[in-house]
Structure 1
Amino acid sequence: MATIVEKNLAAEGAYGRSTSELARFVCDTSFEQLPAETVHATKRMILDEIVCVAAAMDTPMAKALVRLKTGVGGAPESGLFLHGDRLPAQGSAYIHAQLANLLDADETMLNKMHTLSASVFSAFSLAERNRASGKELITAIATGYDISARIGLSLKQFVPDGKGGQVFARLYGFSWMTMGATASAGRVLGLNRQQLAMALGQAYATTPVYFDQQRNKRAMMRDGPRASWHKYQMTGAMAEAAINAAELVSYGWVAQSDIFDEDSEFWLSFGALDYDWDTMYDGLGERWYITDCAVKPYPFCRFGHQTLDLMTEIVETHALRPEDVEAIHVRFPPHQLSEQLASTRFADEGMKLMSSLPTALSLVTLGIPPGPKWFNADLTGEAVRSIARRVTYEIEPAWGPRLAEQMDRDGVLRYIPAEVTVKTNCGKTFRGSAESACGDPWAPDFAMSDARLARKAHSFLDGILSKDRIDDLIDAVLSLDAAGDVQTIVHATVRDGLS
């Protein structure tokens, strides 16, 4: 069966692995051509992104971002979540996209990247300004995100360590998400194919550069130094750059239009050793990567979610109290990120929480609901740290081939083995193991239902929005394809009495 892109190209008598093919895909794909599964997944991801933003709006980081963007003034085009203030589209996209990743509770695609927020909020801000329909917004996000995903999957991020394990590539990052976000923005703006191709080139010229991720992470993994508030990606700047690129081209700006042609070496700018053009182009319009986005129940690195699920199950099944737990032992395969998470015993501020598995296990043991309450918990208090001291870990070399075979075959890790053993003070031992985590859409027993996603929304936004507002938000997003615009969603994100 021919894909959407192949049908569109056949009608013109053209075919080629080039930027123009991507532009045709984004510009010509109609809502009616989206599979029902893709439409539903896109609506769920929009809801989850909005929940993650609203949950972070009361943080000091949000206050700084809001002050930055409200201080410059401009046309009242797009509403600010919770506040109700209206900003230029670029300003609200900048704030919302950056905050979506702040708690580290936003989506993870195939255990590799959090890159959806730039597409969601560049498109959402413009859709609000331009009064675009819900169907048009869904199509813009689904197609634009597919570009982001294909670029990211085609670049190497984890490489073999020669010992059966995986380590980070020497230089890696996520700035390429600007191109997918630009595709989403350009679709909302109604760019034609040539304009869309040039907008991608303009985005490539303006996206933030990579920075030294490993050096930046040092402060995340020890007490004392303050963690960088930009974390590992400045998503807000990427969302804003995406809108600027698309708008510039709509004003007649001329930019390079062939950056994704197969003879391009654009990938050298992103520190890659090579580029997989097959992953970039194969199944375009048929294989939708937004359906591979996992919803995260915990505000923590996705590589630790199997462990946190297992600990949650043990604590809840056996009604364990913090004082019942004598020791927690974790096993995982040889992977640099997993070892970094397990070896970082303490986190002395919310920004560092995502990097300390012992701290996250402590919060599960204490029964603190995941979400902003984790971020705001007393992480340096004895209640948390006394449990973190009881956590030990072990690398299981025999599980290394399980990772290696996935990387060799697919270039991603869908399954990451983990085991948790809890010993109690009364001499009992409880053990659990898993390869998948709650929210993994490719594992049927672990996929997060709409009802479970709604529970995440209520848990994360408890005390931030009223229950009725949260229900209104859920209903508005999940019925987005029937909406003439996004105003109902915008209204539901504002605190009672402010809208």
Structure 2
Amino acid sequence: MGKTIIERLAEFSAKADIARLPANVIEECKRDILDSIGCALAGMEHPKGRIGIEAGRRLGGTGGSATIIGTGDKSTPHGAAFANGEMINALDADSVLLPGHVSPYVLPGAFASAEVHQRSGSDLIAAVAVSHEISCRLGAAMSGYRDTKDGTAAHTSVVGYSSTVFGATASAAKLKGLAVDRLANALGIAAATAPVNSQRAWFMHTPTATIKYQMAGALTNAALSAADMGDLGHRGDLQMLDDEEFGYPRFIGTARWSPELLTTGLGEEWRFPAFQMFKPYPHCRVMHAPLDILIDLVAQHNIRVEEIEGITSYGEGWAYELPCFTNHEITELHDAQFCFAHGLAVAAHRIPPGRQWQDPSVVFDPSVMTLMHRVKLETHPTYFQSISADITSRPSRVEIRARGQTFAAEKHFPKGTPSADPQTYMTTEELVCKFRTFVDGLLPVATIDKVLDSVLHLEQVDDFGKLMRLLARQQEK
């Protein structure tokens, strides 16, 4: 009998080493680590971030050895990972990778494990590569919210990011030093204890739940618990990913299961760098192409807010009718992250993208709220054909009616997307600029410079805990 899928994933995870990683994989890991740290720091004062920090403290106390980013607190790995996951995702400015968001689920456990076990930056990079590759492959193998069939949306009743528990468990277990057999058991345990995929309910109900599509903190803890139990000798079910009748594909609820995508070329072909996207704006990725267009039109034609009679955005058909995105009742800060009309209204006010986009003074600004009600959403006429051909495509068009005329433009790939157009790629220099903008005033300039240097040269860091200690406490400039 051949090895199960879980056993092959465990073997891949244990063997991954920075010496064998392609340069672009190493680079993407460092870029995502940097971006996620910036998002965490920027999300500290957001209600989701503040609550995440307090929940992490309650869960793990404040006498541990893992850093809660941006605070003076050390907690257990479970406590720190819970808090850091919630902070990374607080502003919804974190990166996007199949099956959707990955970083807030897989990085916090890796950060805590690397710090507690005094792993090097090279060790962390290898673990992050594993977590991202496994997550990307599972996302491609399962039902997704952007699936199409016969030229239209293929709505499935169950979608979500629960499958990131495998990548999160693999990276934490690798950094704990688990042997292949125990790592495989940890993955089997993760499969049996993975959170449910509740994202479809989040799409359909308003007001939207603050946990969003999947609570990051909770999933980090499921993964860390699985790694701990595997380490202690618990047996996991190694057949979970092979058994389509009773195993993970059945009980997690995916309507599509392509297991060959999990193992074909595993360890030789790294797929995640081609799909990893970064977000210039703290807003749902669905609206990033329209935001790019609107910002360019407003600047190019010097359009003032008071001149705007109306805005029509043509974009992602699967999302433009869902209650979570079309709801105009902004009662909490996080509502603004997903109200498409509100995001366009904020951008029209020429407010530089950053954590200020979700400051109460901006979110509830009467001028923003008024303009929000002048925004209309329509499905782009070629949307479904475009994503059927290329899942990273997001064809969009924006029309601004002002001064008695219509200003319009189109694009297919938002900024931050690897594509045939080099202009859509978010360079490392641009990510550094985003980082500086997001953390401005939260750390001293000298500390920001040290963090940037450490992450961009992470393979030279002998103890990742040194970097986490730089992020341990807010200080005055």
TM-score, normalisation: structure 1 = 0.88
TM-superposed deviation, 1:217: 4.5
Unaligned runs of at least 5 residues, structure 2 = none
CA deviation string 1:323-371 (max 9, x = no partner) = 23222121225x2213337643453322111221110011111122223
CA distance in 1, matches of 2:198, 2:382: 34
Aligned equivalent of 1:476, options 423, 434, 454: 454
Aligned to 1:7: none
Which residue identity does 2:205 align to in structure 1?
R
Aligned to 1:400: 384
Aligned to 1:415: 393
Pairing 1:382–2:366 present: yes
Which residue identity does 2:44 align to in structure 1?
M
CA distance in 2, matches of 1:197, 1:430: 56
Which residue identity does 2:31 align to in structure 1?
R
Pairing 1:267–2:249 present: yes
The farther-off stretch of 243-252 and 341-350 is 341-350
Check whether the contact 1:144–1:183 (CA below 8 A) recurs between aligned residues.
yes
SS of 1:433 mapped into structure 2: strand
Check whether the contact 1:476–1:488 (CA below 8 A) recurs between aligned residues.
no
Aligned to 2:70: 82
SS of 1:471 mapped into structure 2: helix
Which residue identity does 1:436 align to in structure 2?
F
Which residue identity does 2:217 align to in structure 1?
G
The farther-off stretch of 450-459 and 363-372 is 363-372
Pairing 1:51–2:38 present: yes
Check whether the contact 2:61–2:79 (CA below 8 A) recurs between aligned residues.
no
CA distance in 2, matches of 1:78, 1:396: 46
CA distance in 1, matches of 2:384, 2:64: 53
Aligned to 1:462: 440
Which residue identity does 1:357 align to in structure 2?
F
Aligned to 2:345: 362
TM-superposed deviation, 1:495: 4.0
CA deviation string 1:277-315 (max 9, x = no partner) = 121112212332331210101111111111001111112
The farther-off stretch of 206-215 and 294-303 is 206-215
CA distance in 1, matches of 2:133, 2:424: 23
CA distance in 1, matches of 2:268, 2:103: 19
CA distance in 2, matches of 1:460, 1:148: 26
Which residue identity does 2:65 align to in structure 1?
E
Check whether the contact 2:43–2:91 (CA below 8 A) recurs between aligned residues.
yes
Aligned to 1:430: 407
Pairing 1:349–2:361 present: no
TM-superposed deviation, 1:497: 4.2
Check whether the contact 2:52–2:217 (CA below 8 A) recurs between aligned residues.
no
Report matched runs for 1:226-241 at 5 Å. 227-241=208-222
Aligned equivalent of 1:100, options 73, 88, 113: 88
Aligned to 1:304: 287
- Change in 2 beyond 3 A, CA 1:346/1:496: closer
- Change in 2 beyond 3 A, CA 1:159/1:91: closer
Pairing 1:152–2:130 present: no
Aligned to 1:210: 197
The farther-off stretch of 174-183 and 319-328 is 319-328
Aligned to 1:289: 271
TM-superposed deviation, 1:212: 6.2
TM-superposed deviation, 1:45: 0.3
Aligned to 1:180: 167
Which residue identity does 2:127 align to in structure 1?
A
- Change in 2 beyond 3 A, CA 1:69/1:402: closer
CA distance in 1, matches of 2:41, 2:154: 34
Aligned to 2:110: 123
- Change in 2 beyond 3 A, CA 1:244/1:214: closer
CA distance in 2, matches of 1:272, 1:200: 18
TM-superposed deviation, 1:68: 2.8
CA distance in 1, matches of 2:471, 2:366: 36
TM-superposed deviation, 1:262: 6.5
CA distance in 1, matches of 2:193, 2:149: 36
SS of 2:221 mapped into structure 1: helix
The farther-off stretch of 370-379 and 310-319 is 370-379
Aligned equivalent of 1:439, options 416, 434, 445: 416
- Change in 2 beyond 3 A, CA 1:74/1:392: closer
The farther-off stretch of 312-321 and 93-102 is 312-321
CA distance in 1, matches of 2:70, 2:333: 21
SS of 1:219 mapped into structure 2: coil
Which residue identity does 2:263 align to in structure 1?
Y
SS of 1:336 mapped into structure 2: coil
SS of 2:211 mapped into structure 1: coil
CA distance in 2, matches of 1:401, 1:180: 31
CA distance in 1, matches of 2:127, 2:108: 11
Which residue identity does 1:45 align to in structure 2?
D
- Change in 2 beyond 3 A, CA 1:209/1:469: same
TM-superposed deviation, 1:430: 2.1
Aligned to 1:33: 20
The farther-off stretch of 304-313 and 16-25 is 16-25
Pairing 1:219–2:202 present: no
CA distance in 2, matches of 1:151, 1:93: 22
Unaligned runs of at least 5 residues, structure 1 = 1-13, 221-226, 407-412
TM-superposed deviation, 1:33: 0.4
Aligned to 2:320: 338
CA distance in 1, matches of 2:373, 2:263: 48
TM-superposed deviation, 1:144: 2.1
SS of 1:184 mapped into structure 2: helix
Aligned to 2:303: 320
Paired residues, number? 471
CA distance in 1, matches of 2:146, 2:377: 23
The farther-off stretch of 159-168 and 390-399 is 159-168
TM-score, normalisation: structure 2 = 0.92
SS of 1:326 mapped into structure 2: strand
Check whether the contact 1:15–1:21 (CA below 8 A) recurs between aligned residues.
no
Check whether the contact 1:440–1:448 (CA below 8 A) recurs between aligned residues.
yes
- Change in 2 beyond 3 A, CA 1:283/1:262: farther
CA distance in 2, matches of 1:173, 1:307: 24
CA distance in 2, matches of 1:389, 1:375: 18
TM-superposed deviation, 1:402: 2.2
SS of 1:201 mapped into structure 2: helix
CA deviation string 1:95-152 (max 9, x = no partner) = 1112211211111115x40022222111110111111010000001101221122112
